[in-house]
Structure 1
Amino acid sequence: MARIPETDGSGEIADRIRERRGGNLHSLDRMLLHSPQLADGWNSLLGAIRQRIALPAAIRELVILRIAVLNRAPYEWAAHERPAREAGLRESQLAAVREESPALDERLRRVIAYTDAMTRDVHVPDELFDALRADFSDGELVELTATVAAYNMVSRFLVALDV
């Protein structure tokens, strides 16, 4: 059970979140709505990451699931497993995200290594960043970095409040 009760989710900001979510509020949203202005900014940031950037959906979802594993955030895994499958990730790839398995191709292993470095150590070794340059444009590298950073924020919020 969450450490803070969920809000009812009323008002203009809650309506904007519902619109982005296809009509429903999630438990995360109901927690954030204790601070409507925070919820509004969160919705804008995560809406951009989920719906308006060039980074491929499969990469985004791979990153999110890896962060869920690293930060022990089962809510986040449950919320993103279906979108990961819809984005084209196979069962073997989902298992590899959980187990640090070599079942991923080189590009996806580099994405996992980047996610791990940012999540565990914050610092990213130059060699790893330089290797990713072959896989992504500068804009995509910015989007990848923002996705890792944002979903670390999400998972830490969820875990701290026991959502």
Structure 2
Amino acid sequence: MARIPYADPEAPENREAAAYIVASRKKLGHLHRMLLNSPPVAKGWIDLYDAIRWKTELSGKLRELAMCQVAAINGAKYEWAAHAPIALKEGATQAQLDALPDWSTQGGLFDAAETAALALCDAMTRHVHVPEVIFAQVKAALPPREVVELVVTVAGYNCVSRVLEALEINGEDPLS
């Protein structure tokens, strides 16, 4: 069970933010219901993550592999359950998903851009600071815009997993 109650989307103070979320995501999931405890945060969250997920040039496969790797490292089961199916739809293989988080020992499963992205993801998630050799691999694999988009994706989904885990948000929790 989550550590605090999920917000009521029908409460007068939450209706506008709830409608904003539904307009973007078509539904109110557990994370969104929790975020409604602070309507301004909920709306800003949607704007940021809509930009990361749907307004970047970073390939969907690379984006979702990074999101899944963050979830795997951080033990964020809700995040993994949400993004693993999307990763498959974006072109990741089940073998690639199964190799996370120990991807670096699985030779041949990932191309150069994926290897660079996963190394960046590991460094940012596990250590915050990214060694120059890893950043150089990312710069060699991606244009500057996509480098920024990848970094923000990894940072953003570390935020997601930390919110999910700190509040113990579980997709199986009853919402009412």
Scaled by the length of structure 1, the TM-score of the pair is 0.95
Identify the match of residue 144 of structure 1 among 141, 145, 150.
150
1:98-128 CA-partner distances (Å, limit 9, x unpaired): 3323322232121111000001111111111
Unaligned 5+ segments in structure 1 are none
Structure-2 separation of matches of 1:131 and 1:98: 19
Structure-2 separation of matches of 1:98 and 1:7: 33
Amino acid at match of 1:8: D
Q: Is the 8 A contact 2:113 2:142 kept in 1?
A: no
Q: Does 1:158 align with 2:139?
A: no
Q: Is the 8 A contact 2:112 2:141 kept in 1?
A: no
Q: Is the 8 A contact 1:96 1:104 kept in 2?
A: no
Q: Shift of residue 3 of structure 1?
A: 0.8
Unaligned 5+ segments in structure 2 are 170-176
Structure-1 separation of matches of 2:9 and 2:75: 27
Structure-2 separation of matches of 1:105 and 1:56: 13
Amino acid at match of 1:15: A
Give the match's secondary structure for 1:134: helix
Q: Does 1:27 align with 2:33?
A: no
Give the match's secondary structure for 1:63: helix
Q: Highest Rg: 1 or 2?
A: 2
Q: Shift of residue 97 of structure 1?
A: 1.8
Identify the match of residue 125 of structure 2 among 116, 119, 142.
119
1:15 maps to what in 2? 19
Q: Does 1:104 align with 2:110?
A: yes
Structure-1 separation of matches of 2:126 and 2:60: 23
Range that drifts further, 97-106 or 59-68: 97-106
2:173 maps to what in 1? none
Q: Is the 8 A contact 2:116 2:138 kept in 1?
A: yes
Aligned length: 162
Amino acid at match of 2:21: I
Amino acid at match of 2:145: G
Scaled by the length of structure 2, the TM-score of the pair is 0.89
Structure-2 separation of matches of 1:118 and 1:99: 15
Q: Does 1:94 align with 2:63?
A: no
Q: Shift of residue 81 of structure 1?
A: 1.1
- RMSD between superposed Cα atoms in Å: 1.0
Runs of 4+ in 1 over 3 A off after TM superposition: none
Amino acid at match of 2:152: A
Identify the match of residue 59 of structure 1 among 54, 57, 62.
62
